[in-house]
Chain A
Amino acid sequence: MRNVDLTAEGMPRKKTSELREVFRHLVRNRAAVVGLTIIGLFVVVSVFAPVFATHDPLAANLGNRLQPPSREHLLGTDELGRDLLSRMFYGGRISLNIGIISVLIGVLIGVPIGAVSGYFGGKLDIITQRFIDIMIAFPGILLAIVVVTVLGVGVENVMIATGIASVPIYARLVRGSVLSIKEQSYVAAARAAGLGDVRIIFRQILPNCLAPIIVQSTFQIATSILWAAGLGFLGLGAQAPTPEWGAILSNGRAYIRTAHHLTTYPGLAILLMVLGFNLVGDGLRDALDPKTRS
């Protein structure tokens, strides 16, 4: 384990070079660059969806339904005659939002639980971990379905549900890291110097868990987007007319033989976005690991 960059005075300078180092390794990884490009593209079209969208994503035109791709509608129209491409742009916003916010929820709840559990150990650890065991016993998507059933459907609740479903992953991950880090001599030194538990956790231990948290979060964004699409597909996520990709895919299912563009494009979009985050996650993990780096 590296601990050179953790001395209070050495931190700012070392951190910058560390970041640069990580980035340098990341861009040397071709797969990661592909991933970054994909994510970048999605972020741009999502942020500027109102600019790129050629039509109102909610404006129905029944006389123009189920049209195949054309110059007017580049990806065709859906079952209510809405422009699919414009809906996809706005849908990207929803998926990215869900991915990021649910990961924030997972991190904010899961990391402290894992840190406290690992650091203090003993009965607290045993009890916490049994609860985590119970949560892990449920497949994430199932846990998310349970949470949505309790909270009700809708985009916000999907964020909360996928966030909660990722809590045990973070708790387990951080606890493992904390267990090994707390045995390090610099932690013992900090304790000997009279630092309180809270300060030790936040100043000495958690910064050292950042690498796995970042890597996990990148993967988790991908997973959350998939879960959200799954929930949308099942009708438990975003409600009509919200142009969420999973919901578009689900509605298009009925027309798969007559208007396949309604399932093909949202399916591809989900696939690409998830692939992008996974590639970047892989790259980040390698870049953050000094062993693979050297």
Chain B
Amino acid sequence: MRNSQRTYLFGLVIVSMIALAASPLFATGTAETAAVRDTLTIAIGAEPESLDPVKMTSAPAATVGEHVVERLIYMEEDGSLTPMLATSWSANEDSTVWTFQIRQGVTFHDGTPLNAEAVRMNLTRFVDPEVGAAYAFLLGSVQEIRTTGEYTLEITLGQPFAPILSHLSHSFIGIVSPRQIENLGPADTFENPVGTGPYVMDRWSRGDSIRLSLNENYWGDTPRIPNLVFNFIPEESARIVALETGEADAIMAVPPQDVPRLQRDPNIDVVFQSSVRTIYIGFNNVREPFDNPLVRRALNHAVDKQAIVDSIFDGNAFVLDAPVVDAVFGHASVGPFEYDPDLARELLAEAGFPDGLSMSLHHPTGRYPLDATVAAAVQSMLAEVGVDARLETREWTSYLQFTGQPPEQAEYDSYLLGWGTVTLDSDYGLYALLHTRQWNPDGNNRSFYSNERVDELLDAARIETNPDVRTETYAEAMQLIWDDAPWIFLYSAGQINAVRSNVEGLIHHPLENLSAWDAYFVD
């Protein structure tokens, strides 16, 4: 009897584990009573990989980080740039020397005053090749960063760099206390950043949450809510239950299929916001047969993007017509690839694959809304034209490593990824992902796409200061990229957040940040 009892017991345990994991009930929480409304809880899907500006790489890190660490310039929801730690800025005639006035009377959370020297130390660390920040390209070709006064900073560039101001608004160029970085070696990092932001790092419980508390000496308007908690709840359904029970006051990334149900709940507001993120499937452009543009174009024609948008996202997304979304400066509508399986088969045959081919398709699970579902849908569409795509998934951090190998070690045929052009300038969306100089592992060109003319155009647009000329240059580059089809261009999905209706003032930013410094509770 013992044996079977054990098996039964084991079976019971496994079944109940599965049931528990599947059931939203395990995420029960008690709603906070109105009397103790001093904490705002936001549930997000992924944990920041780091809050050290030189190590940050994702939108979740930016969302948490911007409450603690500030940058020189802030990008408003409409894309306009407003002063943050820099009060004003100017450039010389050929835009190679930029002078910034640093805000006076600001202190870091450790009491150190903010001055030009503090900013200089941070920017120097950011572009230091030995530190190797993945986003160092954001500052272009910096020659010198120096202080010319207690509150005056001068950045000298090797050549003009058109998008420098919007790049300086990027969350990853955050300014932390000089005391925190003065003794750091190039490879050293820190866990709890000491910034100038409206909130102070309180506690980071790995795998669970980050707690922030109010910065009493904040230079701007002091937030009304004293404590801020970011909970990491990767499971979408569990995140929703957290909101419904009041355990969370706001959640990010609501799956579209749950929207109607949440909209019926009088205690919950669903918020739609556009996003600047593009989702695509990159090919390994240096690996056969994906070094052949015919194959890449064929697969673009084989995927019914509109069906993905209409059915999986219930219309809350749009099909890409360019490598960047249309809110981005320099966007030119050059697509989309029409869904045409017959043409796809023809192109494959022309490329020498009349019977189709097989390939690996790597994708993350849970990083982007419905990413795994989209991958499975693409797989079934590719099967229609005789392409056997093998789906492989990995946990997010190891996924980034796996798709971050140099070309000779890259073991993938294709990979699904997203990119938010958060500076709203095409340089960030194209240069970082498609320029030959940005090939893995030195940059973010994971598809090893290389086109000399595109490189020339992207380089030219970087140093060109006339916006009209830049627009034309990007239009030409985008057309070339589109014809080369280094990726399967998919869609841009809108953000869906949900907030309990007693919370007002949250900023749902198109850059996929959820900012709480203006938030307050209503009764």
Distance (whole angstroms) from the CB of B98 to the closest CB of chain A: 47
- Selected interface stretch from A47-55, A58-66, A100-108, A200-208: A58-66
Alpha-carbon gap, A65 to B365, bound state (A) = 20
For B8, B11, B304, B391, the residue with the greatest tally of chain A CB atoms inside 10 Å of its CB is B11
Q: Is B501 an interface residue (CB 8 A)?
A: no
Given the known interface contacts A239-B390, A263-B22, the answer about A282 and B4 at a Cβ–Cβ threshold of 8 Å is: yes
Stretch at the interface among B57-65, B107-115, B271-279, B372-380: B372-380
User: Can you list, as one digit per residue, whether each of B381-418 has a CB less than 8 Å from chain A (1) or not (0)?
Assistant: 10100000011110000000000000000000000000
Please measure, in the bound complex, the distance between the C-alpha atom of A65 and the C-alpha atom of B256, giving whole angstroms: 13
Please determine whether B24 and A257 come into contact, CB atoms closer than 8 angstroms.
yes
User: How many interface residues does A have (CB within 8 Å)?
Assistant: 47
- Whether B3 lies near A216 (C-beta < 8 A) is yes
Least CB distance, B58 to chain A, in whole angstroms = 21
Contact assessment for A257 and B258 in the assembled complex, using a CB-CB cutoff below 8 Å: yes
Q: How far is the CA of A130 from the CA of B323 in the complex (A)?
A: 59
Q: Please name the residue on chain B nearest to A230 by beta carbon.
A: B14
Rounded to whole angstroms, the CA-CA distance of A143 and B435 in the bound complex is 45
Complex interface: chain A residues within 8 A of B24 (CB) = 256-257
Is A83's beta carbon under 8 Å from chain B?
no
Q: How far is the CB of B81 from chain A (nearest CB, A)?
A: 38
Looking at the assembled complex, report how far the CB atom of B510 sits from the nearest CB atom of chain A, in whole angstroms. 25
| Cβ contacts under 8 Å, A186 to chain B | none
Flag the segment in A2-10, A13-21, A36-44, A266-274 that touches B: A266-274
Whether, in the assembled complex, B184 has its beta carbon less than 8 Å from a beta carbon of chain A, the answer is no
The smallest C-beta distance from B301 to any residue of chain A, in angstroms, reads: 17
CB distance from A55 to the nearest CB of B (A): 13
Contact A58 B15 (CB under 8 A): no
A59 pairs with B255, CB closer than 8 A? no
Report A260 CB to chain B, min CB distance, Å. Answer: 10
Task: Write out the residue numbers on chain B whose beta carbons fall within 8 Å of the beta carbon of A282.
Answer: 4
Task: For the complex formed, measure the closest distance between the CB of B163 and the CB atoms of chain A, giving whole angstroms.
Answer: 38
Least Cβ distance of B123 to chain A in Å? 42
- Picked from A59, A222, A258, A271, the residue with its CB within 8 Å of the CB of B7 is A222
B261: contacting residue among A223, A240, A257, CB under 8 A: A257
Between A60, A63, A255, A270, the greatest number of chain B beta carbons within 10 A of the residue's beta carbon is seen for A60
| Contact (Cβ within 8 A) B258 A219 | no
Q: With contacts A58-B380, A66-B257, A239-B391 known, is A253 near B22, CB below 8 A?
A: yes
Over the window 60-88 of chain A, the binary record of Cβ atoms lying under 8 Å from chain B Cβ atoms (1 yes, 0 no) is 10110110000000000001110000000
In the assembled complex, B236 has its CB within 8 A of some CB on chain A = yes
Contact of A249 among B18, B312, B377, B383 (CB under 8 A): B18
A278 CB contacts on chain B under 8 angstroms: 4, 7-8, 11
In the complex, whether B308 has a CB less than 8 A from a CB of chain A is yes
* Residue contact B379 to A222, C-beta cutoff 8 Å: no
8 Å CB interface, A136-165 against B: 140-141, 153
CB of A233 within 8 Å of the partner chain:
yes
Q: How far is the CA of A60 from the CA of B382 in the complex (A)?
A: 11
Judge whether B19 and A240 touch: CB under 8 Å: no
Of the residues A63, A230, A249, A257, contact of B311 by C-beta under 8 Å: A63
Q: Which of B343-393 contact A (CB under 8 A)?
A: 365, 372-373, 375-377, 379-381, 383, 390-393
The 0/1 profile, CB within 8 Å of A marked 1, for residues 240-265 of chain B is 10000000000000010110010000
B21 sits at the interface (CB 8 A):
yes
Residues of B1-36 whose CB lies within 8 A of A: 3-4, 7-8, 10-11, 14-15, 17-19, 21-24
B contact residues around A219 at 8 Å (CB): 3-4, 7
B373 nearest CB neighbor, chain A only: A79
Q: Mark A197-228, 1 if CB is under 8 A from B, else 0.
A: 00000000000000000011001001100110
Q: Is the C-beta of A229 less than 8 angstroms from some C-beta in chain B? A: yes
Q: In this assembly, does B237 line the interface, its C-beta being within 8 Å of a C-beta of chain A?
A: yes
Contact B18 A256 (CB under 8 A): no
CB of A91 to closest CB in B, whole Å: 15
Q: Which residues of B contact A263 (CB under 8 A)?
A: 22
Interface status of A290 (Cβ within 8 A of chain B): no
Closest to B23 in A: A256
Task: Tell whether, in the assembled complex, residue B14 and residue A240 are in contact, meaning their CB atoms are under 8 Å apart.
Answer: no
Measured in the bound complex, the distance between the Cα atoms of B311 and A256 in whole Å is: 18
Pair B390/A257 contact, Cβ less than 8 Å: no
Q: Which residue of A lies closest to B6 (CB)?
A: A219
On whether the beta carbons of A80 and B377 are closer than 8 Å, the reply is yes
Task: Tell me, yes or no, whether A99 is within 8 Å of chain B by CB.
Answer: no
Please report the C-alpha to C-alpha distance between residue A80 and residue B311 in the assembled complex, in whole angstroms.
Answer: 9
In the complex, whether A114 has a CB less than 8 A from a CB of chain B is: no
Please tell me if the beta carbons of B237 and A257 are within 8 angstroms of each other in the complex: yes
For the complex, give the distance between the alpha carbons of A252 and B393 in Å. Answer: 17
Assess whether A112 is interfacial by the CB under 8 Å rule. no
Q: Smallest CB–CB gap between A239 and chain B, Å? A: 6
Across the interface, do B393 and A235 meet the contact criterion of CB distance under 8 Å?
yes
Q: Is A93 an interface residue (CB 8 A)?
A: no
From B14, B255, B380, B390, give the contact of A80 (CB < 8 A): B380
Our pick among B4, B19, B365, B375 for the contact of A285 (Cβ within 8 Å) is: B4
Whether a CB of chain A sits under 8 angstroms from the CB of B480 is no
Looking at B8, B22, B236, B391, which has the most chain A CB atoms within 10 Å of its CB? B22
On A, residues with C-beta under 8 Å from B are: 58-60, 62-63, 65-66, 79-81, 140-141, 153, 215-216, 219, 222-223, 226-227, 229-230, 233, 235, 239-241, 246, 249, 251-259, 263, 267, 270-271, 274, 278, 281-282, 285
Using A80-B376, A251-B372 as known contacts, list a sample of 9 further A-B pairs with CB atoms less than 8 Å apart, ordered by residue number in A.
A65-B311, A65-B312, A226-B11, A233-B21, A239-B392, A241-B376, A253-B22, A255-B257, A278-B7
Q: Give me 30 A-to-B residue pairs in the complex whose CB atoms sit less than 8 angstroms apart, sorted by A's number.
A: A58-B383, A62-B304, A62-B310, A62-B377, A79-B373, A80-B377, A80-B380, A215-B3, A216-B3, A219-B7, A222-B11, A223-B11, A226-B11, A226-B15, A229-B14, A235-B365, A239-B391, A241-B376, A246-B18, A249-B18, A253-B235, A253-B237, A254-B237, A267-B18, A267-B22, A274-B11, A278-B7, A278-B11, A282-B4, A285-B3
Give 4 nearest A-B pairs by CB, closest first: A60-B380, A62-B311, A62-B307, A219-B7
